[in-house]
Structure 1
């Protein structure tokens, strides 16, 4: 039994154990689909076993203070990969007081209309409620239960206020060093997982993206050539020229004398030339220039 346990492959990244409780972190990371290669981590773009695939880090807290077996309480919560370094920075930055929480609801509602729900909270307080300094200032709590899922306008979901009821509840107190060890090892694993998975994913993704761009360019070029061959642009221009919608109209105007003839008529009728001569004779232009009223 012990030998099987030692040789069994486990996705456990790290664990911290106290006298009656244990917190562990597990690998549930998943690569993004090739269509979203630049994300590296999956974010629900594809499905596995009828569930959206998401890259996650699972935390479990075991409380066996009342015994093992059926009396052992195990609660779990799934964090996003980037939430691990976020909490880690709260330690490295030296936060004396800190509180952060998150809740999730997912899955198909049961016959009573309830879906699976999880709550997670982490806090650090220097002193307890009596004002005494805390040896283990970090407190992590996970609550598993059910709630009523409500769809929002953007297609997401949230838990209806007041609908949650707990089925499992477990918490653990940790020192700064305990939590730092847990988060640091997990953060290192995520970094190495990305370094391992990303090269082939990115290389294949960029290659597929470049091929997609080339296919689009070839397709668009073929359409442009098709337009030219079918005369949808070139042929239309020729038709306009052949139909003389512009050229012939210009010739008609010239032949009909609508411009040229009119100009000749004006000249012959003296409507401009004669008037100019009349103005010159009457001195309407010439005389004002000779006037001394401007020279003064």
Structure 2
């Protein structure tokens, strides 16, 4: 279906999957899913595979936290992190199973180092706690925290990457508390979207991969 817009209208297409807002904060989940190339068709999602331009693509769900306590525009404090489709489904399954205690933590360092040898770092914590530090029941048991900063990247002999100990410098950190229903609404929409995306994209990827295999086999017989 084509969208017809006048010359004065600006085209804007949102990648937002789900969002939760308060009068001071916002958390949203964003579509960053990427299909695997034909060479790795069975992956369906791209997990660092290179596209036709040689650029590594990583299929993920973006999470953005915004704090507009100090106002909007330039005064908004914003942090972000990414989770894989599998991690998103895992978190949703734990929520759906009614876990009482939950602790998911992630730390990533990525990107080309700057002139000081520092790379981008994201830290993510998703926790469910029944009681607070004061021992009282928490009305909002889910706690989501994102921190952004920089660190020094170190490469392992096997090609893996990790952050040098004590090199992390935090630039911004935000958090939000959610009750079970609000977090469920966020995550069920993410889960449904991932399934819809896979059902839409996978047939094309698999067909392309199978055709490439058949062509290689045919060329091998000729």
One fold, TM greater than 0.5?
Answer: yes
Question: 1:50, CA displacement in angstroms?
Answer: 6.7
Task: Give the whole-Å Cα distance in 2 for the aligned partners of 1:4 and 1:21.
Answer: 29
Give the C-alpha shift of residue 40 in structure 1: 0.7
Map residues 137-148 of structure 1 onto 2, 5 A cutoff.
137-148=141-152
| C-alpha distance after superposition, 1:1-38 (max 9, x if no partner) | xx968x62111111011221110011111110011111
Equivalent in 53, 60, 72 of residue 56 of structure 1: 60
Unpaired stretches in structure 2, ≥5 consecutive residues: 1-7
Q: Determine if the alignment matches structure 1 residue 185 to structure 2 residue 189.
A: yes
Question: Which of 38, 42, 45 matches 1:41?
Answer: 45
1:85 aligns with 2:89: yes
Q: In structure 2, what is the Cα distance between the partners aligned to 1:192 and 1:140?
A: 25
Q: For 1:47 and 1:119, how far apart are their aligned partners in 2?
A: 27
Aligned to 1:207: 211
Query: What residue in structure 1 maps to residue 19 of structure 2?
Result: 15
Q: Comparing both structures, which one devotes a greater share of its residues to strand?
A: 2
Q: Secondary structure at the match of 1:147?
A: strand
Aligned-residue offset at 1:153: 1.5
Taking the TM superposition and a 5 Å limit, the aligned residue runs for 1:127-146 are 127-146=131-150
SS at 1:127 equivalent: coil
Would you say the 8 A contact 2:81–2:122 is kept in 1?
yes
Count matched residues: 215
How far apart are the structure 2 equivalents of 1:202 and 1:166?
A: 42
- In 2, the alpha carbon distance for the partners of 1:128 and 1:103 equals 24
Residue segments in structure 1 that go unaligned for 5+ positions in a row: 219-296
Q: Which residue of 194, 213, 221 corresponds with 1:217? A: 221
Give secondary structure in 2 for the equivalent of 1:148. strand
1:154 Cα deviation from its structure 2 partner: 1.1
2:116 counterpart (106, 112, 116):
112
Query: What TM-score, normalized to structure 2?
Result: 0.92
Report the secondary structure of 1:90's partner residue. Answer: helix
CA distance in 2, matches of 1:159, 1:31: 28
Q: CA deviation at 1:39?
A: 0.7
Determine which structure has the larger helix proportion and give its number: 1
TM-score, structure 1 normalization: 0.69
Q: Partner of 2:3 in structure 1?
A: none
Higher RCO (C-alpha under 8 Å, 6+ residues apart): 2
The residue aligned with 2:103 is 99
